[in-house]
Amino acid sequence: MLRDQFGRNLHYLRISLTDACNFRCVYCMPEHIRFKDRKDLMQNDELLFLARAFVDLGVDKIRLTGGEPMLREGLTEIISAIKGMGVNDLSMTTNGSLLADKAEELAVAGLDRVNISLDSLDPTKFRRITRWGSFADVWAGIIAAEKAGLTPIKLNVVVVRGYNDDDVVDLAGLTLEHPWDIRFIELMPVGSEGGFALDALVPSAETKAKIESAFGELEAVPGYNGEDPSRPYRIPGAPGRLGFISSVTAPFCAGCTRLRLTADGKLRLCLLHEDEVDLLTPLRQGTSYDEMKRLIAKAAWRKPWGHKLQESQFPLNREMYQIGG
C-alpha cells in the first residue's frame, strides 16, 4: 500500500497517455505548439510495466488522461491490459470529440466510465474556448458514451471569467433532464497560462450562488466520503448531480489520494507542485521490477500538502496538457 508522510492512502493513479490534443483550450495551452516526439513518451510496454507496479503497490483506481487520450495509438489494448490487472475502477478523461465512433469499443475493452469536458452549450462560445473544438462532435460523444454504458457520465466545466461564467445556469440545468454529474472546476494556474488563470478565476462560491439564484438552494447529496474533490449537490428533484471542485479557494488535500504519471514517464506528486520523479529513465536503464516499486513508494512518501496560490506562486515547469489535469 502506498502511503505518504501525512498518512494518506494513495490508491488512485492518473496516467497521461499523450501530451497531444486536437483542441487548443485557452486555459490549457497556447494555440500554436509542438508536442513531444513519440519516442520521448512511454511506449505501451513501458506504460503497462509501470501500471502493474502501481497496482501491486495498492492502486485500485486508474484514470487515463492526456492531452487527449483518444489520440493514443493502441488505446483499446492499453485499456484491456490495465483492466486485466484487477483494477476496480478504470476511467478516462476526454474532450469527447472522438467518442461517437469509439465509445462502444472502449466499453467492450474494459473502460468503466468517462469524464468529458463541456465548457459551454453555446457552439460559438464552445469554439472560442476550445479554439479548434466542435460542440456537435462532443455532444454526439456524450450521447454515445451513455448508450455504451460508460456511466455515470461526468461533465467537467472549467469556469473561465469572460468566457463561460454566464453559462453555468444552463449547464446546471442539464441535470434536470439527465442523470449526469456536472462538475464546475475552478481555473487552476499552471505553466505559461498561470497568469491568465489567476485573472480569470471564478470562485466556486460565486458559481454556486449563481446557480442557486436560478434554481433555489441546492441539496447536499448524502454519503460523501471526502476523497472526491467534487462534493455532490442536487437541484431539488433533479435526476443528475452538481459538483464544485475548488482547488484554488478551498483545497481538499486531506482527502487527496491521487498520484499522476505523465506521458513522458514522470511521477508527479501534486498537480500544483513542481516536484516530479523520473521513472522512465531508470526503466530504460534496466531497473528491476522490485526496485521500481521501491522507487515509486519512496517518491510517493514525499507527496506534499497545500499550495501557495494565495501568494500568486504556481508551478511553471509544465503546462496543464503535459500533466493530464
- What does the domain layout of the chain look like in residue ranges? 12-322
In this structure, whether the domain defined by 12-322 belongs to CATH 3.20.20.70 is answered with yes
Are 48 and 13 in contact by the 8 Å Cβ rule? The answer is: no
pLDDT per residue, tens digit, the chain (325 aa), is 899 999 999 999 999 999 999 999 988 888 888 898 999 999 999 999 999 999 999 999 999 999 999 999 999 999 999 999 999 999 999 999 999 999 999 999 999 999 999 999 999 999 999 999 999 999 999 999 999 999 999 999 999 999 999 999 999 999 999 999 999 999 876 655 555 666 788 999 999 999 999 999 999 999 888 788 888 999 999 999 999 998 788 778 888 999 999 999 999 998 777 789 999 999 999 999 999 999 999 999 999 987 766 555 555 557 766 777 6
pTM exceeds 0.75, yes or no: yes
Are 196 and 312 in contact by the 8 Å Cβ rule? The answer is: no
C-alpha cell read off for 223? 454519503
Q: How many Cα neighbours within 13 Å face the side chain of 139? A: 10
Are 273 and 315 in contact by the 8 Å Cβ rule? The answer is: yes
List 14's β-bridge partners, or say none.
63, 260
